């Protein structure tokens, strides 16, 4: 993806080590994510709201903050505290964790990392994105777990590139199929409207 390599260099992400990207995270998830990351695996968190950035930095002690423009992290922890760069971060990920799915909120959109062909983990709370979550689950293209399984699931996927690839390719196929269905629906509606218009002419 354009700009992804520069983004990684600017953040100080080690491209030779696995990277988990947690997108659109909620405040209660940062400690959970930090504690669920196996040794030798990097974690980048991208909080959903700017007002959550400082609290996230406090939980991710020693993290490299994007806004600081000082690359490198001795802890392997990174905080995306800018707007508009989550897609770049997703493109670098080995595993994506969908934020706002392990706490009291109602999920985030899994389709962006799915479109990038990423292995996706989500928690139990996906009410705001129920249709997308169901489509991915039906295709066995996303791993749904509770918080107690997060460490073991990340470890398993990091250690299994074949399964990561399968999940990512299947997720991307779901997105393509979904886009095709949406286009067909739009074409059908336009046809109906066109026919209705000609009847009134």
On whether the CB atoms of residues 25 and 102 are closer than 8 A, the answer is no
Give the distance from CA 27 to its chain's centroid: 16
pLDDT over threshold 80, residue 68: yes
Question: Residue 71 has what pLDDT?
Answer: 73
pLDDT over threshold 80, residue 141: yes
Contacts 24+ apart (CB under 8 A), 158-164: 158/18, 158/20, 158/38, 158/41, 158/94, 158/95, 163/119, 164/94, 164/95, 164/119
Q: What is the per-residue pLDDT across 88-100, written as a single tens digit (0 to 9) for each?
A: 999 999 999 999 9
pTM of the model: 0.90
Q: What is the per-residue pLDDT across 170-200, written as a single tens digit (0 to 9) for each?
A: 999 999 998 876 677 777 778 788 776 655 5
Of the two residues 157 and 196, the one the predictor is more confident about is 157
Give the sign of the dihedral formed by CA 127, CA 119, CA 160, CA 62.
Answer: negative
Whole-angstrom distance, CA of residue 27 vs CA of residue 124 = 17
Question: Residue 184 has what pLDDT?
Answer: 73
The whole-number average pLDDT for the span 129-152 is 97
Question: Residue 74 has what pLDDT?
Answer: 87
CATH 3.40.50.2000 fits 4-171, yes or no: yes
User: Where along the chain do its domains lie?
Assistant: 4-171
As a whole number, the mean pLDDT across the chain is 93
Whole-angstrom distance, CA of residue 62 vs CA of residue 95 = 22
Q: What is the C-alpha end-to-end distance of the chain, expressed in Å?
A: 49
Question: Residue 187 has what pLDDT?
Answer: 77
- 3-class DSSP state of 60: coil
């Amino acid at each position: 993806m354009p700009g992804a390599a520069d983004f990684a260099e600017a953040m100080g992400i080690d491209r030779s080590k696995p990277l988990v990207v947690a997108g659109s995270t909620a405040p209660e998830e940062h400690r959970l994510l930090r504690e669920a990351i196996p040794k030798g695996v990097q974690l980048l968190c991208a909080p959903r709201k700017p007002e959550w950035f400082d609290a996230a930095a406090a939980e991710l002690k020693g993290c490299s903050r994007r806004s600081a423009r000082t690359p490198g992290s001795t802890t392997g922890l990174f905080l995306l505290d800018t707007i508009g760069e989550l897609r770049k971060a997703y493109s670098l990920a080995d595993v994506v964790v969908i934020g706002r799915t392990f706490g009291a909120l109602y999920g985030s959109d899994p389709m962006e990392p799915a479109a990038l062909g990423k292995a996706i983990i989500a928690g139990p709370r996906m009410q705001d994105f129920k249709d997308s979550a169901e489509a991915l689950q039906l295709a066995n293209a996303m791993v749904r777990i509770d918080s107690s399984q997060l460490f073991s699931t990340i470890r398993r996927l990091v250690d299994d590139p074949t399964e990561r690839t399968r999940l990512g390719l299947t997720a991307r196929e779901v997105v393509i199929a979904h886009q095709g269905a949406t286009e067909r629906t739009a074409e059908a509606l336009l046809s109906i409207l066109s026919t209705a218009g000609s009847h009134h002419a």
